Structure 1
Amino acid sequence: MSPKKTLPALAIGAVLALTVGFAAHAAMHANLPKAIRLQATKLGQVYATSSGMTVYEFKKDVPHSHKSTCYGECATLWPPVAAPAGFKSMKPWGIAVRKGSEKQLTYQGYPLYTWIKDKQPGDVTGQGVKGVWRVAKPGKTQISWTAKS
C-alpha cells in the first residue's frame, strides 16, 4: 500500500476511534440524575451536585445496601444528597431511604454526601477525612479512602 493511501485510512481510523470513545463517554453520563453533574477538580473528574459541590462516599456505609449510617453530627458535617423528586433508580444510581422517609441519592450503592468545609465548586477537602471519606468518581476506578486531597 502506498503512503498516499495509508494516510487517509489512518485518518479515518482515528476519527472513528474518537467518535466511538466520545459515544461511550456520553452514554456513561447520559443517565446522570438531575441533581448530579461532572466537576473538574485537582483529583480529576468527580461527581458533584448541580451547584458544583463535590459528593462523597462514606466507608462505614455498607456498599450496595443503599442504607446510610451517617446521622446526627455526622449528617450535619456531611449533609446527605437528596434524591431528586420523582427520581427512579437506574444503575449505577439509586436511592437510600433515610430515617423519616427522606430519600438520599446513591452511587454504586453508596449513599452520597457533601462536606460543609467545601466552600466552592471543585473543592475536594473532604477526600480522605479520617480515612473514611472519598470523592465519588465516574466508573469503577476509585480513589482510596485514605488518599488526601
Structure 2
Amino acid sequence: MIRRNRIAIAVAGGMATVLALVMWSTNAVGVQGTNVAQTGSAVEAAAAPGDYGYDAPSSSAPTDAPAAGAQNSAAQQPPAAAPAVSNVRLVAKTVDKMGDVVQDGDGRTLYRFDKDTPKPPASNCVDKCAETWPPLTVAPGSTPQLEGVDPALVGTIKRADGTEQVTLAGWALYTYSKDPAPGKWAGQGVGGTWFVIQPNGKRNVECLPAGVTAPAA
C-alpha cells in the first residue's frame, strides 16, 4: 500500500511538472513575465544596497533640508546697506532761560514752523521764506548724528528743490538767518508761527518776545 502511494505521488508530481512547463511555454509573456518581475523585485529587496554600487540613504536625514545650492545662494546675498551717517548733527540741550532746545552741530538753535504739517510731514517754507529760515538738510539717503535725541522721532522729507530736509516728530527743522550767534534764539515767536523746537518735537514757548502769545497746545 505504501509503495502504491509513493508511485501515485510521483506520477502526480511528474504530471504537475509537465503541466507547469506547458503553461510556462504557452504563456511566456503573461505568467512568466509576472513571475520573473516579482522574483526580481524580491531578489533586489533582499540584496544589500552595496551590491548595486550605491549607499542606502540614511533614514535620519531630514527630507525638507534645503539644497546646497539654495544655501550657498542665501549665504551669498549681501546684507542691506545701512544709511550713511551725515556730518549734520542734532544735539539736545538744556540752556538758561529757554530750557530744552535742539541745536545743530555748530550750536545754532533749530526751529519749527506752525504752517508746516507733521502728518504727513511737509514743509511750506519755500523761496524767500527758505532764505530767511534755511532748512536743515542732509545728503540723500543719509541720517544725521544724534545726541540726546530719540532716533525714532527723526526722519527726512524731500523738498521741492530735491533736497532732503531733516524732521523731528514730523516737523521740518530750520535755522534762522538772523540769529546773531550760535546758541541764540532771535527767531523765537516770529510772526506767532516760528518757535524753538524741543527734543520731543513740541514748541518751546519760553522766552517769548513781548506781544507774542503762546499758541494753544
2:168 pairs with 1:107: yes
Note the residue ranges of structure 1 that are not aligned, 5 or more in a row.
1-32
**Number of the residue aligned with 2:112:** 57
Q: Matched residue of 1:35: which SS? A: strand
* Contact kept in structure 1, 2:159 and 2:165, CA below 8 Å: yes
2:186 pairs with 1:125: yes
C-alpha distance in 1 between matches for 2:162 and 2:201 = 29
Q: Which runs of 4+ in 1 moved over 4 A?
A: none
TM-score under structure 2 normalisation?
0.48
Once the 2 structures are TM-superposed, how far is the Cα of residue 54 of structure 1 from its aligned partner?
Answer: 0.3
> Deviations along 1:48-82, whole A, 9 cap, x unmatched?
11000000000000123221110011000000001
Q: Of residues 94, 97, 122 in structure 1, which corresponds to 2:158? A: 97
Percent identity for Structure 1 against Structure 2: 32
* Contact kept in structure 2, 1:130 and 1:146, CA below 8 Å: no
* Contact kept in structure 2, 1:106 and 1:112, CA below 8 Å: yes
Q: Matched residue of 1:46: which SS? A: strand
C-alpha distance in 2 between matches for 1:56 and 1:78 = 9
* Contact kept in structure 1, 2:196 and 2:205, CA below 8 Å: no
Once the 2 structures are TM-superposed, how far is the Cα of residue 120 of structure 1 from its aligned partner?
Answer: 1.4
Q: Of residues 36, 42, 65 in structure 1, which corresponds to 2:90? A: 36
Once the 2 structures are TM-superposed, how far is the Cα of residue 83 of structure 1 from its aligned partner?
Answer: 2.7
Question: Given the superposition, is the C-alpha separation of residues 132 and 145 from structure 1 closer, same or farther in structure 2, using an over 3 Å criterion?
Answer: farther
Give the letter aligned to residue 36 of structure 1: L
2:92 pairs with 1:67: no
Q: Which has the larger radius of gyration?
A: 2
Question: Given the superposition, is the C-alpha separation of residues 67 and 52 from structure 1 closer, same or farther in structure 2, using an over 3 Å criterion?
Answer: same
Q: Matched residue of 1:91: which SS? A: helix
* Contact kept in structure 1, 2:110 and 2:197, CA below 8 Å: yes
* Contact kept in structure 2, 1:59 and 1:145, CA below 8 Å: no
Q: Matched residue of 1:105: which SS? A: strand
C-alpha distance in 1 between matches for 2:102 and 2:139 = 15
Aligned residues: 116
Give the letter aligned to residue 166 of structure 2: L
* Contact kept in structure 2, 1:134 and 1:145, CA below 8 Å: no
TM-score under structure 1 normalisation?
0.68
Q: Of residues 114, 129, 137 in structure 2, which corresponds to 1:82? A: 137
C-alpha distance in 1 between matches for 2:167 and 2:113 = 11
